[in-house]
Structure 1
Amino acid sequence: MAINSPTYDPVSTATALAEKYVSGQQEVLKARSTRANATEKALTDLNSALNTFQNALASMAAPNKTLYAQSAVLGDTSIGTATATAKAAAGSYAFYVQSLAAAGQVSYSNLTEDSGVSGILKVNVGGTTINVDLAAANTDGGATPLTPREIAAAINADSENASLVSASVITTAPGKYELVLTAKQSGATNGVTIDASGLTGSSLTGKTANVLVQESDAVIRIGSATGPEIRQSSNVFTGIDGVTVTFNKVTTAPVTLTVGPDSSATSANVQGFIDAYNKLKSVLDAMLAPANASKGTAAGAFAGDAGVASLRDRLVSLLRQGSGDSLANYGIIANRQGTLSLDTTRLNKALALDPNGLDNLIGKATTGSPTGIAGAIDTYVKGWTSGIKGQIKTRQEANSRLQTELSSRQDLIDQQYDAAYRRYLMQFSRLQEIQSQMSSNSSLFDALFSNDKD
């Protein structure tokens, strides 16, 4: 009589039992590893969001930047351009541009490639002399003639030429060259000449300069063509505090310069501050959001994290600071969720009363001595983003240690799995052998005690 009993494949059975043996530990470890990986990404994202906000804050609240903007506009924009800082006094001014400043430019004609050139070429620019050794200017040591281009290169590269003059070469005919020298600075005292008397073997010797552009000062008159004269070496006029005017054309009649508040630019600057803050707050809100089963949304990476929640709350608190003044007075309003928006009417009204009030309240996010709201926020945020002892770095290091520990734990579970698998494989391989032997014996008994008379 045959023996019927369940049979087990040793490999698949050992695999299933070994997996079941470590499944509880593996599930716990998998959950912890998933959380650790999510934390690692969330910390990177948080650091990026905070750094982006700090960069925006530093740009808007830099030492030489202001949110309050003023404009300077020329009545005839073809005459030039003008800008104004927040410190400029509003007003209207008239100018008559009699002449523009120009940088001197000369050329020396019919130069050739010369052999055996030696001596010092003296280039005079605005009272400064540049001594150029032409023997050293020949880049191949005199194996070939000295070219005018090598002379120009030597002038430009000379250590005494501290951006005083630029030299270039124009080919006028085969083997004939024009050396052009241009002063870098404009003004009547910035003419260019050369002294080639110390040279030997050079076609520059005895040459007379061709004046291409006569050096000159700008002459600007206040009010009219007969008004008080302003004479200067530059076409950039900075005689009005906080205002810079660049003239590029003479006038035939007085041109008006109007300086006053630029409401559109100011609103754009303030909106930039608001947008930078709202973007950071949006990131923090998403990271702290609890799970919502009805909407099918998972919890944020830092849901329930008191530290990150405190970060968000502290930022809101710092925005509300001020000595008798507040952002709301300047139209920067927070809704119930803490998101900022801008009331331009209130902003312009407040700035009309105190043009510097908002910038004084916002302050500066400088490294040395931060001031105001921007300084306080930047200082606080650095406590999170610092690469030395910042909270994010501390958390990242702790999370990294946890991930290392979890990796070691995974190695241990793998070892337990391997040991269990080998044990079960041995047991069920033996069982398979016993079952095979029993089946063989059963067949033998059936043959011996069969009722078959044949």
Structure 2
Amino acid sequence: MTDLSSIDPQSMASQMAGFDVQTLKNQLKTQQAKLAAQQNALRSLKTNLNEFRTALTNLNKSDNGMLKTSATVSQDNFVKVTTTSDTRKGSYNVFVQQQASSHQMAFNDLTDDAVRQAQGSMSIAINGKSVAIDMDKVGSLADLAKAINGSDKNPGATASLVRSNGQVRLMLSSDKTGEENKIVLSGEPDVMKGSSVKTISAAQDAIIFLGDPATGIEIKSSSNSFSNLIDGVTVDITQAQKSGDTPLRIDVGVDTSGTQSQLNTFVNAYNKLMSSLGSLTASGSSGSDRGAFAGDAGVTNLRRELNEMLRTSFNGLDMTQFGISADKDGKLKLDNEKLDEQLKTDPGKLNALFNGSDGLLRKMDKSMDRLLSVTNGDIKSREETNRRRETELTDRSDKINTRYDSAYNRYLQQFTRMQSVLQQMNNTASMFGLV
């Protein structure tokens, strides 16, 4: 008689319970794989659209558009010149007479004892704003400096203690440069009794001349930066010239290489997006893989709309005038020679085409709102749908596991009883010598 008592109830129960839920598990696995593919495709779409939008934003800044300009200065070390896309070609003579400086003063011989004995208040005023320091509440130079710096009414002055040759001096400095930020002191005279105030640095404006100082136009600034001197040009003073020096010559023009780089950034970003959208919407014909968004109206319409924009005239201009054309596959390419020709004749038209609220870049950016809007965009809606679907599949997986556990326990009881019966039969057979 065959000994069947050696069966393993746990293994048999596990095997039989697995058979019970195998079909459900296969269905769940297929659905999970499909959902994962959809989620990956959606993430890829969102990433590529956001990368393209970032590129458009960087190329459409108010002070840094598609057209790049540059400036050269005849002598180094006196000024630093920066330009924007709105800068127009030109040459300018500039003489730097003086730099702007902040007001700094030191209190000589003002001691802790003098501060401790002072009464009343000391007023510090700058450019129409002031703070009154109650001298009855300070007992040392350090306390006085702390009271000035910590006041919420501080008009823009910084107090510090300077130590030299064993002596401690209180120094007041205006936080900003220029004549309008001069420090004005007033208050009880006994605060300053026995102390003299020494000017370390006078409050003065920066002064430059357009042209020669003798015949040119004088221009002042409270800071060392002149942003309204020439449209689209910022001149930052780093050092004053000496009397009799030759005025600086500033030449402003188009940065051809920089402009080419800007256009290539656009071309590359567009081509990358089109390649991604092409893969995601591929029909699967001719042996190629079918894209996750094949036949999807939203993605297909965006691709078509972006392509149509390339062939649309903006402000009476189109991209072919600047050397940008599309090949047979719809990919853009840039003809640098044709771009150079246009930049020599009328470079401002490049910004008129691409930049501003009515330019091509803004129109392209706006077209992606239907998909990318964080409030009601199609991608957001699909992400929410996928999250709900993911929750549903997780719940289904939990139910399958529960069903498996129930079946396993049932089979375990059955096989355990069977094993017990077989053991008894084997024992009986043994008594009669049948085994």
Equivalents in 1 of 2:430, 2:99: separation in Å? 121
Match of 1:420 in 2: 407
Match of 1:141 in 2: none
CA contact (8 A) 2:120 2:136 kept: no
CA contact (8 A) 2:101 2:202 kept: yes
CA contact (8 A) 2:109 2:196 kept: no
> Is 1:195 the equivalent of 2:194?
no
CA contact (8 A) 1:10 1:425 kept: yes
TM-fit CA distance, 1:71: 1.9
Match of 1:142 in 2: none
Unaligned runs of 5+ in 1: 139-144, 365-369
Letter of the 2:337 partner, please give it: T
Match of 2:12 in 1: 13
Name which of 322, 330, 335 aligns with 2:313. Answer: 322
CA contact (8 A) 1:122 1:129 kept: no
> Is 1:211 the equivalent of 2:199?
yes
TM-fit CA distance, 1:336: 3.6
CA contact (8 A) 1:70 1:262 kept: yes
Cα distance change of structure 1 residues 199 and 286 upon mapping to structure 2, 3 Å threshold: farther
Q: Size of the alignment, in residue pairs?
A: 427
Match of 2:418 in 1: 431
Match of 2:88 in 1: 89
Name which of 380, 390, 400 aligns with 2:387. Answer: 400
> Is 1:146 the equivalent of 2:140?
yes
Equivalents in 1 of 2:213, 2:194: separation in Å? 43
Letter of the 2:383 partner, please give it: Q
CA contact (8 A) 1:71 1:262 kept: yes
CA contact (8 A) 1:72 1:82 kept: yes
SS of match in other structure, 2:375: coil
CA contact (8 A) 2:5 2:419 kept: no
Equivalents in 1 of 2:371, 2:57: separation in Å? 16
SS of match in other structure, 2:263: helix
Cα distance change of structure 1 residues 182 and 298 upon mapping to structure 2, 3 Å threshold: same
SS of match in other structure, 1:104: strand
SS of match in other structure, 2:85: coil
TM, length-normalised to structure 1:
0.81
TM-fit CA distance, 1:27: 0.7
> Is 1:122 the equivalent of 2:123?
yes
Equivalents in 1 of 2:262, 2:2: separation in Å? 90
Letter of the 1:265 partner, please give it: G
1:221-277 per-position Cα deviation (integer Å, ceiling 9, x unaligned): 443342224041444343323222223221411221112112122222223333433
Name which of 249, 265, 269 aligns with 1:276. Answer: 269
Name which of 229, 244, 263 aligns with 2:256. Answer: 263
Match of 1:244 in 2: 234
SS of match in other structure, 2:229: coil
Identity %: 31
Cα distance change of structure 1 residues 192 and 306 upon mapping to structure 2, 3 Å threshold: closer
Unaligned runs of 5+ in 2: none
Equivalents in 1 of 2:58, 2:373: separation in Å? 19
Equivalents in 1 of 2:66, 2:275: separation in Å? 23
Q: 1:216-235, aligned counterparts within 5 Å?
A: 216-234=204-222, 235=224
Equivalents in 2 of 1:416, 1:254: separation in Å? 90
Letter of the 1:146 partner, please give it: S
TM-fit CA distance, 1:316: 3.1
TM-fit CA distance, 1:66: 1.6
TM, length-normalised to structure 2:
0.84
CA contact (8 A) 2:97 2:240 kept: no
Cα distance change of structure 1 residues 99 and 408 upon mapping to structure 2, 3 Å threshold: closer
CA contact (8 A) 1:93 1:256 kept: yes
TM-fit CA distance, 1:404: 1.7
TM-fit CA distance, 1:395: 0.6
1:276-308 per-position Cα deviation (integer Å, ceiling 9, x unaligned): 3344445445545688999xx987655665544
CA contact (8 A) 2:129 2:155 kept: no
SS of match in other structure, 2:46: helix
Match of 1:68 in 2: 67
Equivalents in 1 of 2:319, 2:170: separation in Å? 62
CA contact (8 A) 1:118 1:135 kept: yes
CA contact (8 A) 1:104 1:214 kept: yes
SS of match in other structure, 1:73: strand
TM-fit CA distance, 1:32: 0.8
Equivalents in 2 of 1:59, 1:279: separation in Å? 16
Match of 1:372 in 2: 359
Name which of 174, 185, 195 aligns with 1:183. Answer: 174
1:317-347 per-position Cα deviation (integer Å, ceiling 9, x unaligned): 3344324532233223333444433322222
